[in-house]
Amino acid sequence: MKNKNNEKLKQFKPFLWSYDLDNLDVKRDKRRIITNVLNLGTKEACDSLFNIYTKEDIKKEIANPLPGEWNDKSLNYWSIIFNIKVKKTKNVLRNIR
């Protein structure tokens, strides 16, 4: 990862703890970064996220959530904030019996 990307992502380390930040790219991995920060991030981390990604990028990830990756309360909160109707996804973990 380039130094510029590394500096942007360093602040998100607590929310991307299982990922090697040196191998993440701000553009290529935006779904993962947006999802994790909106799910787990602090207000400061979310504010930084909004400075890195466009409102449209963020809205797209909320409207089309990664299956099984979102906390229900976080997804509900962000869908209300952005006034978005979320596509229903199948939560794989809930269907295991």
pLDDT in tens, 12-36: 999 999 998 888 999 999 999 999 9
Question: Rounded mean pLDDT of the chain?
Answer: 86
Geometric angle at alpha carbon 87, from 20 and 72, rounded to 5°: 60
Alpha-carbon span 86 to 10, nearest angstrom: 29
Alpha-carbon span 46 to 41, nearest angstrom: 6
pLDDT digits 0-9 by tens, 40-51: 999 999 999 999
Is 4 in contact with 24 (CB distance < 8 Å)? no
Is 4 in contact with 25 (CB distance < 8 Å)? no
Question: Residue 70 belongs to what domain range?
Answer: 3-95
Total number of domains in the chain: 1
5: confidence class by pLDDT, cuts 50, 70, 90 = low
pLDDT of residue 79: 95
Neighbours of 39 (CB within 10 A): 18
